[in-house]
């Protein structure tokens, strides 16, 4: 059984509902959701928008490999109405965003998935919820506990 940490965010429509639906689908299709952080309202990162995000972190116990978790997360996003422009950088308003932050202590960098998430340590909207549910987990590249990562 593997432990995966996910970051969820929404800044369009009924943000709370999109987060709730995503967590429910993750629990059904990826694995048991064992921890959910509080919700944090944050400003957009990487683009300008008047729509604030709601962000959460979740811990999931799964039997699936990381690549399949990623594929299912993208399917959940699409089913909930997420669209991506052809030239999209990913930094845009969205009904739901699901990112894999860490998958056990796996370190990988290929064309489809980079683990741990390469920018998680730079993003307050990721670290604050993650610190709440997994403060002692060691970042597999930085070699320090999540609670000790400084922005």
Q: Which two tokens stand for residue 134?
A: 């997994």
Q: Which of 15, 16, 84, 94 is catalytic?
A: 94
Distance between CA atoms of 5 and 1, rounded to whole angstroms?
A: 13
Q: Which of 82, 104, 105, 131 is catalytic?
A: 82
For residues 19-45, b (16+ Cβ closer than 10 Å) or e, as one string? bebbbebbeeebbebeebbebbebebe
Q: Which of 14, 93, 97, 105 is catalytic?
A: 97
Catalytic residue status for 148: no
Distance between CA atoms of 32 and 81, rounded to whole angstroms?
A: 23
Catalytic residue status for 104: no
Catalytic residue status for 15: no
Q: Which of 20, 71, 99, 131 is catalytic?
A: 99
Which residues form the catalytic set? 82, 94, 97, 99
């Amino acid at each position: 059984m593997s432990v995966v940490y996910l970051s969820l965010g929404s800044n369009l429509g009924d943000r709370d509902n999109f987060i709730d639906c995503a967590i429910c689908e993750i629990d059904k299709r990826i694995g048991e959701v064992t921890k959910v952080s509080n919700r944090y309202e944050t400003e957009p990162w990487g683009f300008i928008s008047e729509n604030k995000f709601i962000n959460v972190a979740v811990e999931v116990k799964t039997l699936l490999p990381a690549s399949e978790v990623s594929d299912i997360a993208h399917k959940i996003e699409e089913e909930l109405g997420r669209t991506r422009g052809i030239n999209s950088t990913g930094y845009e308003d969205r009904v739901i965003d699901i990112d894999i932050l860490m998958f056990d202590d796996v370190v990988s960098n290929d064309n489809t998935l980079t683990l741990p998430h390469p920018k998680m340590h730079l993003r307050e909207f990721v670290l604050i919820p993650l610190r709440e549910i997994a403060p002692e987990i060691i970042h597999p590249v930085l070699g320090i506990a999540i609670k000790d990562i400084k922005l």
